[in-house]
Structure 1
Amino acid sequence: MYTNEPELSGSFNFRALEALSYKVKTNSQANTGKEMIYEFIATISAGFAMAGFALIIRHILKLLKTPSPKWLIPIFAGIGMLGFQIHQEYHWHEQQIEKLPKDAQVIKLIEGKTWFRPWSYVKPQVIRFMAVATDKTISNPQLGSIKSINIYLFERRISTKIVPQFINCDSQTIADPFEQQHSQETTDQPATDSASANTATESSNSPTAQRLALSELNWHPLKATDPLLKAVCGTSTS
């Protein structure tokens, strides 16, 4: 159905990131439901507006004593609703980009064509896109400057997904902060003592523990031309 998607960051393309459901935080689906309701209301309104325009044309033709076709109003209503939907299909990603944090950058637009949208063969539509925003910078003497980022995955009429990642600008690598946590969930035993659990949490949040945790992550190389690396670390990265 869709055109081929060029890979981002080696194996870190859109579908690969989306498939990692254990680390993806999904935004409230209520917002997506509201947007769909608003779009439905706007579509019906566009149909009524065009039907009203057709009604004016019929009255003008009546004054001119010229017969008007009975299908004029429903055809105009259909054109209004279809036209609004086509407009939304080509501009929905721009509306989502406006809602992103100020420091967020769009790093990938994925266009596609479908047989039931023949106009997409004339001008392909953006069906999905990625954006990235830097959350914070972590200084690590052994690894260098580590940036904590959020990768936003957008798809029309689907709740936005946020994938947290770590980027090392010095070594040009990327790591999943939840990879080890996910692997340990199947082996960790539940804490029997609340005091010991609190102590363990405090120790894991200490700077020393954080540095050790960063060094133990699986770091994957990025290409120097990777748009994700350029957006987070700047174009001066060599």
Structure 2
Amino acid sequence: MLIDFISIVAAGFAAAGLVMGLNRLSGRRLPKWTMPAGAGVAMLLFMVWNEYSWADRTRLTLPESAVVTFKNERSDFWRPWTYLAPVTTRMALLDRGPEAGLPADPGPEMRHAKLYLMERWRPSYGLTVLFDCAGARRVDASAAGATAAELAVADWQELDPEDPALRAACEGGGNGRG
């Protein structure tokens, strides 16, 4: 958050410097209000760009095999432009690629995946999840190395067969191999 504040202030100073340079080139013919107005507009535009692009910029830090399975978009009255285009505030990404460092394949109908939960202004979390593709259910990291008997009594969470995370984990090749 501090980095964002510093970046917004820097955008304001850069815009003010640009307007000051244009003013000198024009023989000091620009009105005096153009420098603070230019700085303010630049700061506002940078803030809006920063809010709308954080999800894509964050996604680019993960391996290409990570798939976005959930996005929370919202509109707020203090950001009236979000009523035209809601801003993403949270997202979940699922990675089954070899970079995920997953355990061995637990069986033909089970898939391990790395689930990343990200929210604007909050720390990100990553956890290993085991999906039962045939039963449309999942269990979190505690069962990652469990035996078949332990999995039978694990605290499974039932999922909709069309759940994006379940589909991303179960469709494609073998576990962790895309």
For normalisation by structure 1, the TM-score amounts to 0.62
The one of 173, 176, 197 aligned to 2:137 = 173
Q: Aligned partners of 1:165, 1:58: CA distance in 2, in Å?
A: 59
Following TM superposition, by how much is the alpha carbon of 1:57 offset from its aligned partner in structure 2, in angstroms? 3.1
Identity of aligned residues (%): 28
The one of 124, 138, 147 aligned to 2:105 = 138
The one of 44, 50, 60 aligned to 1:82 = 44
Q: Aligned partners of 1:104, 1:178: CA distance in 2, in Å?
A: 22
* Structure 1: 5+ residue stretches without partners: 1-35, 180-204
The one of 59, 62, 66 aligned to 1:97 = 59
1:170-208 C-alpha deviation (Å, 9 max, x unpaired): 2221123438xxxxxxxxxxxxxxxxxxxxxxxxx7xxx
Contact kept? 1:108, 1:130, Cα under 8 Å: yes
Is the partner of 2:138 in helix, strand or coil?
strand
Is the partner of 2:49 in helix, strand or coil?
helix
Is the partner of 2:135 in helix, strand or coil?
coil
Contact kept? 1:137, 1:147, Cα under 8 Å: no
Residue 2 (structure 2) pairs with residue 40 (structure 1):
no
Q: Aligned partners of 1:111, 1:125: CA distance in 2, in Å?
A: 5
Q: Aligned partners of 2:69, 2:53: CA distance in 1, in Å?
A: 17
Name the CA shift for 1:42/1:177 in 2 (closer, same or farther; >3 Å). closer
1:212 corresponds in structure 2 to 149
Q: Aligned partners of 1:102, 1:213: CA distance in 2, in Å?
A: 33
Could you tell me which amino acid in structure 2 is paired with residue 131 of structure 1?
Answer: L
Residue 118 (structure 2) pairs with residue 154 (structure 1):
yes
Following TM superposition, by how much is the alpha carbon of 1:77 offset from its aligned partner in structure 2, in angstroms? 1.0
2:35 corresponds in structure 1 to 73
Contact kept? 2:112, 2:169, Cα under 8 Å: no
* Structure 2: 5+ residue stretches without partners: 97-101, 173-178
Following TM superposition, by how much is the alpha carbon of 1:60 offset from its aligned partner in structure 2, in angstroms? 3.9
Following TM superposition, by how much is the alpha carbon of 1:61 offset from its aligned partner in structure 2, in angstroms? 4.1
Following TM superposition, by how much is the alpha carbon of 1:52 offset from its aligned partner in structure 2, in angstroms? 1.4
Q: Aligned partners of 2:138, 2:4: CA distance in 1, in Å?
A: 38
Bigger relative contact order, structure 1 or 2 (CA pairs below 8 A, ≥6 apart): 1
2:85 corresponds in structure 1 to 123
The one of 15, 18, 42 aligned to 1:53 = 18
Contact kept? 1:177, 1:217, Cα under 8 Å: no
Following TM superposition, by how much is the alpha carbon of 1:169 offset from its aligned partner in structure 2, in angstroms? 1.3
Residue 76 (structure 2) pairs with residue 109 (structure 1):
no
For normalisation by structure 2, the TM-score amounts to 0.81
Q: Aligned partners of 1:213, 1:162: CA distance in 2, in Å?
A: 23
Greater displacement, 92-101 / 54-63: 54-63
Contact kept? 1:150, 1:163, Cα under 8 Å: yes
Following TM superposition, by how much is the alpha carbon of 1:92 offset from its aligned partner in structure 2, in angstroms? 0.4
Could you tell me which amino acid in structure 1 is paired with residue 136 of structure 2?
Answer: Q
1:43-96 C-alpha deviation (Å, 9 max, x unpaired): 222111210121123224435xx4x33222111111111111110111000010
Residue 158 (structure 2) pairs with residue 224 (structure 1):
no
Q: Superposition RMSD on alpha carbons, in Å?
A: 2.4
